[in-house]
Structure 1
């Protein structure tokens, strides 16, 4: 398990770059994605793709990485354990937002509905609140037919 912990530390170090230097984060995360490869730990692949979506310049590229993040959770032969299930509301929320940003409002509504269906896995804590309020922000943007990027906080 030690190597997996090291890998997670590498992933979060790369993610932290994104706050000040999205390009550096993109480079570091892409390198980790390539190193881990298709047979890598689903949680690692999911977290990397999830954060790569956030540091893309275009809505199309963000959508691609959001789809890869969800794909990592639903790899054939990988049991959907509690750890992976806990990511689902956030993954579907991000997918909904990316679909909205590329103008596919119908798909965005569908992904939001799926995200809502998974909210029961979230605790009543700060993280759960971030996801729940995020759903509200994306819903409001959809109602306004907006394709603009939402503020991050």
Structure 2
């Protein structure tokens, strides 16, 4: 976003107020940004931040949908990277309204646009949030390997094996159900398995998880 744009500057001031715990000031600044918006792009930006300060899930959804509609009207590269978070926010709003079907639809749309976000910490966070939503709404479907992996990750945490956690957990949390995500997860599992530093029982469980995940991927193909 253009840091010299007056609407963007108002939203930046609003975010500073929010970080300082001044919620009323933040909402006022976002409202001012909305009222100052001179085109669909500026309205899209302002609506995104206004959605953060609504008293009910229904109003939050309204502003998130407003943001999405304005982004569609802009329709150029300025908003391409917005879509994953737009759909993610809409999905969360539908979840808060106990509408899991619509939530799942927007989690899937968020996943479909994730490659538009430049690589980095924000992309990683967004991907993990989408993956969590997909799992919670059943969009990725149950996997036989999940129970084994969850048990292993819990054991690594309890045992303080940060090396194993660091290799496997990011790939597991960021799995959007796509083939490339499954390959990334399988690669991380194989790396830990090949290093053979785990206790014998964990090594065995990891091998079983790899076999189960591989079998599931082969059936899906």
Residues 59-114 of structure 1: CA deviation (Å, up to 9, x unaligned):
11111111111011112xx3x22221110001000000101111111110111111
Partner residue in 2 for 1:57: 55
SS at match of 1:118: helix
2:3 is aligned with 1:6? no
* 2:34 aligned partner: 33
For the structure 1 residues 23 and 139, does the alpha-carbon distance in structure 2 shift closer, same or farther, using more than 3 Å as the test?
Answer: farther
C-alpha RMSD of matched pairs (Å): 2.1
**Equivalent residue number for residue 151 of structure 1:** none
Q: Which has the higher contact order (CA 8 A, sep 6+)?
A: 1
> How much does 1:41 deviate?
3.0
- State the TM-score, normalizing by the size of structure 2: 0.56
Indicate conservation of the 8 Å contact 2:44/2:70, yes or no.
yes
Does structure 1 residue 89 correspond to structure 2 residue 84? yes
Separation in structure 1 between the aligned mates of residue 119 and residue 66 of structure 2, nearest angstrom: 28
Does residue 113 (structure 1) correspond to residue 108 (structure 2)? The answer is yes
Task: Decide which structure has the larger Cα Rg and report it.
Answer: 2
1:102 equivalenced with 2:97 (yes/no): yes
Deviates most, 129-138 or 59-68: 129-138
Structure number with higher helix proportion: 2
Which of 122, 126, 130 is residue 131 of structure 1 equivalent to? Answer: 126
Contact 1:29 1:52 in 2 (8 A): yes
Unmatched 5+ residue regions in structure 2?
Answer: 139-221
Paired residue for 1:71? 69
**TM-score w.r.t. length of structure 1:** 0.79
Q: What is the Cα deviation at residue 141 of structure 1?
A: 4.4
For the 8 Å contact 2:7–2:36, the answer to whether it is kept is: no
